[in-house]
């Protein structure tokens, strides 16, 4: 839960320039992992992704078995993302608070409690969906705090590399998570898989708590450059600061265009993925793992092998790649063809990295945690909207035609918004 022990500097205009940390730049993944604090954040993030993958797959399977509804199944897998926007609009400024480590640890504790509660046999479905919303709200704050810490523990020159490594790990962990989840569900009940996810969440909590140091990611007092403020505002001050920074964020047309492209095309394609269990229940694990494997390859290639300039030039093509292969679902392809298409499309998620770099370049140090939290929360919220839209349409069109329709809409948004992204 949010802590009230954080400083209250003034809102800093988003047009301010960002000053890089003074730490020496890392030159590769090994150099990053030699940083004990980054290694702790990285391990904690990896275990959290593993737990989220297992619990999401278990819940989707449980809901599909109980209801047979494509809508409820899709929402159960991505429903937590609906509540992330509430965190972004209300208390996201805690991500830039005086004690981000404490905030992150407390939010990880909330996640542990929520995942453990899902393991209770016989828990009614409304209670399970309620837990999803609560966890989604706190997850958005945790993401902001984690990204704020990440920007502190690595220099600006290594930020893209660090995000690339975390994205790669997220993809690889999701591949293993879906594969292992499909295997576990052959021998264990969904409730027992939830228990495994709770153990992983607890280990992630320990990794962060034992390695990360406290940073004050918000500088300070307007009258004393470089000083820190020790004021401790109440929740209304946090709300005002959150809203003021969000207003500055959305006032810039370039930032709006970047956020649109970070949120909408991705969310629509996640809606396609949310239909895999309904589309092909016996092989949903294969399709989900194929998508995660493609994302892993894309992030590895784009983040590790391309320069920042090349990443930016490839961004539009990657956003198209994200959706075009899903048009094959109009022909009801065999499982192996569908898996190849999903794998290729997964590489398109790497378009997120150059867009995030552009957004970071327009963000000053004092509000990095909040802005990155808003970006992540909006992206996750659109994943939930995409899943809900997909599930609702599938009730009338069927899963295959719905996947094709969402892919077409994603392509349309990408093409129409390109001129605004170029001007950003």
Q: What is the pLDDT of residues 212-265, one digit of tens each?
A: 777 654 444 433 333 334 444 444 445 566 666 666 666 666 677 788 888 899
Pick from 100, 108, 95: nearest CA to 43 = 108
Strongest mean pLDDT among 219-228, 308-317, 377-386: 308-317
CA distance 101 to 123: 33
Count of H-run helices and E-run strands, the chain: 17, 0
Residue 49: predicted pLDDT: 87
Cβ-in-10-Å burial (0-12, 13-18, 19+) of 301 comes to: middle
Radius of gyration of the chain (CA): 20
Decide: helix, strand or coil at residue 23.
coil
Tokens 């140091």 belong to which residue?
213
Tokens 């990443």 belong to which residue?
311
> Where do the H-state alpha helices sit in 188-283?
190-209, 235-250, 253-273, 276-279
Does residue 39 register a pLDDT over 70? yes
Residue 329: predicted pLDDT: 95
Sign of the alpha-carbon torsion through 237, 145, 417, 11: positive
Residue 172: predicted pLDDT: 76
User: Which residues, 6+ apart, have CB-to-CB distance to 373 below 8 Å?
Assistant: 87, 88, 92, 95, 140, 141, 143, 144, 145, 147, 148
Q: What is the pLDDT of residues 165-200, one digit of tens each?
A: 887 787 678 778 888 888 898 889 999 999 999 999
Q: What is the pLDDT of residues 330-351, one digit of tens each?
A: 999 999 999 999 999 999 998 8
Over range 96-100, report the average pLDDT. Answer: 66
CA distance 78 to 385: 9
Sign of the alpha-carbon torsion through 359, 361, 366, 369: positive
Residue 355: predicted pLDDT: 86
User: Quick one: pLDDT band at residue 367, thresholds 50, 70, 90?
Assistant: low
More reliable by pLDDT, 31 or 16: 31
CA distance 258 to 417: 9
Tokens 């509804």 belong to which residue?
69
Tell me if 150 sits within 8 A of 25, measured CB to CB.
no
CA distance 314 to 400: 29
Residue 25: predicted pLDDT: 46
**For 151-155, 217-221, 316-320, 417-421, which range has the lowest pLDDT when averaged over its residues?**
217-221
CA distance 215 to 97: 9
Q: Count Cα atoms within 13 angstroms, Cβ side, for 126.
A: 0
CA distance 260 to 249: 13
269 C-beta neighbours (distance < 10 Å), count: 29
% of the chain beyond a pLDDT of 90: 27
Tokens linked to 91: 């208390």
Tell me if 28 sits within 8 A of 203, measured CB to CB.
no
CA distance 177 to 292: 10
CA distance 18 to 21: 10
Residue 192: predicted pLDDT: 94
More reliable by pLDDT, 116 or 356: 116
User: Quick one: pLDDT band at residue 89, thresholds 50, 70, 90?
Assistant: low
Strand ranges (E), 44-149: none
User: Quick one: pLDDT band at residue 13, thresholds 50, 70, 90?
Assistant: very low
Does residue 409 register a pLDDT over 90? yes
User: Quick one: pLDDT band at residue 113, thresholds 50, 70, 90?
Assistant: very high
Tokens 């702790």 belong to which residue?
40
405 C-beta neighbours (distance < 10 Å), count: 22
Residue 6: predicted pLDDT: 30
């Amino acid at each position: 839960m949010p802590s009230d022990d954080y400083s209250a500097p003034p809102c800093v205009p988003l047009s301010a320039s960002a000053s890089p940390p003074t730490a020496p730049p890392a030159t590769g993944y090994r150099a990053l992992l030699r940083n004990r604090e980054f290694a702790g954040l990285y391990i904690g993030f990896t275990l959290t992704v593993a737990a989220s993958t297992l619990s999401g797959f278990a819940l989707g399977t449980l809901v599909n078995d109980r209801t047979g509804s494509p809508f409820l199944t899709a929402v159960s897998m991505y429903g937590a993302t609906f509540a992330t926007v509430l965190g972004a609009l209300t208390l996201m400024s805690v991500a830039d608070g005086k004690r981000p480590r404490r905030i992150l640890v407390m939010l990880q504790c909330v996640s542990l409690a929520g995942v453990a509660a899902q393991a209770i046999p016989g828990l009614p479905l409304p209670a399970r969906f309620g837990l999803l919303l609560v966890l989604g709200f706190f997850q958005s704050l945790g993401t902001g705090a984690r990204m704020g810490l990440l920007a502190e523990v690595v220099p600006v020159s290594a930020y893209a590399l660090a995000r690339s490594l975390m994205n790669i790990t997220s993809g690889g962990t999701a591949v293993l998570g879906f594969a292992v989840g499909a295997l576990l569900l052959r021998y264990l009940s969904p409730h027992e898989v939830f228990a495994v996810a709770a153990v992983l969440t607890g280990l992630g909590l320990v990794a962060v708590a034992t390695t990360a140091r406290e940073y004050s990611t918000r500088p300070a007092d307007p009258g004393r450059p470089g000083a820190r403020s020790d004021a401790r505002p109440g929740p209304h001050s946090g709300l005002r600061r959150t809203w003021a920074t969000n207003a500055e964020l959305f006032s810039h047309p370039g930032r709006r265009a970047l956020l649109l492209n970070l949120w909408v095309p991705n969310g629509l394609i996640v809606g396609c993925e949310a239909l895999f269990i309904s589309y092909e229940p016996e092989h949903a694990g294969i399709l989900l793992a194929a998508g995660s494997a493609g994302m892993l390859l894309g992030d590895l290639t784009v983040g590790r092998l391309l320069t920042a300039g090349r990443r930016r030039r490839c961004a539009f093509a990657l956003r198209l790649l994200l959706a075009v292969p899903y048009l094959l679902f109009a022909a009801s392809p065999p499982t192996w063809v569908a898996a190849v298409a999903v794998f290729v499309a997964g590489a398109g998620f790497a378009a997120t990295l150059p867009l995030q770099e552009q957004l970071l370049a327009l963000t000053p140090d004092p509000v990095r945690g909040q802005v990155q939290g808003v970006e992540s929360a909006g992206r996750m919220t659109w994943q939930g909207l995409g899943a809900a839209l997909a599930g609702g349409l599938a009730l009338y069109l069927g899963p295959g035609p719905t996947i094709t329709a969402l892919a077409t809409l994603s392509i349309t948004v990408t093409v129409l918004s390109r001129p605004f992204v170029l001007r950003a």
